[in-house]
Amino acid sequence: MLYSAYVAATLSLLLVTLSLNISRLRLAHKVSFGDDGIRALTLAVRAHGNSLEQSMIFIVLLYFIEVNGNADARFALALGSVFVLTRIIYCAALFKRTLLIRQLAHAVTVLLQIVTAVILLVH
């Protein structure tokens, strides 16, 4: 089995967790659409949206470097593992409103996407 499949499954669980958090907050605050100006709901929606946006790009790139043989399977697993950990750190920093940690996690996310894209382009 490809390691990118494990990474995709793990990211899926993260996204489901973030989605359930949104549902929990919507029920608690009786909000059907939007965020009604409720800061916690705004943050939850952004954590989910941002993680979804970043994860979709990364998992496709990771899959292609693995299938094309551009990278060793262990390297693909390392990239994927760091990406998942970085997304978790990003979300935690967003909820705790720790700007510097969130910015660093975002920078690592972008760096991993760039590295993965360059690996595809170079090989």
Structural domains counted in the chain: 1
Residue 23 confidence class, pLDDT cut points 50, 70, 90: very high
Q: What is the CA radius of gyration of the chain?
A: 16
For the domain that residue 34 is a member of, what is the CATH number?
Answer: 1.20.120.550
Instruction: Summarize pLDDT for 54-87 with one digit per residue, the tens.
Output: 999 999 999 999 999 888 889 999 999 999 999 9
Q: Which domain holds residue 95?
A: 3-122
Report the C-alpha gap between 38 and 65 in whole angstroms.
41
Are 44 and 52 contacting, i.e. CB atoms less than 8 angstroms apart? no
Predicted local confidence at residue 120, as pLDDT = 93
Confidence band, pLDDT 50/70/90 cuts, at residue 119:
very high
1 has a pLDDT exceeding 90? no
The pTM of the full predicted model, rounded to 2 decimals, is: 0.92
